[in-house]
Amino acid sequence: MPDEIVRVGVGVLVMNAEGKILLGKRKSKLGEGTFSLPGGHLEFGETPEECAKRELKEETDLDGSDFEVISLSNDIAYEKHYITIGVIVRKFSGEVKIMEVDKLESWDWYDVKKLPAPLFFPSAEFIDNFLQNIFYK
């Protein structure tokens, strides 16, 4: 039976100087074995940009600044209803680390023309919006 609560997720698009994006291989129950952007749930009182900054640090240990909302999707997947806000980070520093070893197998940089499969559904939607320069679909 589907969960009838609408959740708000925030995905973070991190692109390095070579134009590659950061994706992690998930090992948590939701989306196990798929590749995902950093991200998580919006907490009460947070802006999407604050959530993106917090999740980026919690999941990768990267420090980000200059965040911008560039994508929005409204989807039902994995028997859950999500509004996903896509945020790009324009500046970041640090070295990528696996901070949540129980949820993630690896972080790697991928060429947007050669992405791994399968992609975690919300990340796939956000990346597609980014590549097509579409805010919402």
Report cis status (omega within 30 of 0) of the bond before 118.
yes
Beta bridge partners of 14: 89
What residue type is assigned to position 61 of the chain?
Answer: D
CATH superfamily to which 6-132 belongs = Nucleoside Triphosphate Pyrophosphohydrolase (3.90.79.10)
| Cα separation, 80 vs 89, whole angstroms | 26
pLDDT tens readout for residues 77-117: 878 899 999 999 999 999 999 999 999 999 999 999 999 99
Cα of 132 vs its chain's centroid, Å:
17
10-residue mean pLDDT profile of the chain (137 residues): values are 86 97 94 97 98 98 98 90 96 98 96 96 96 94
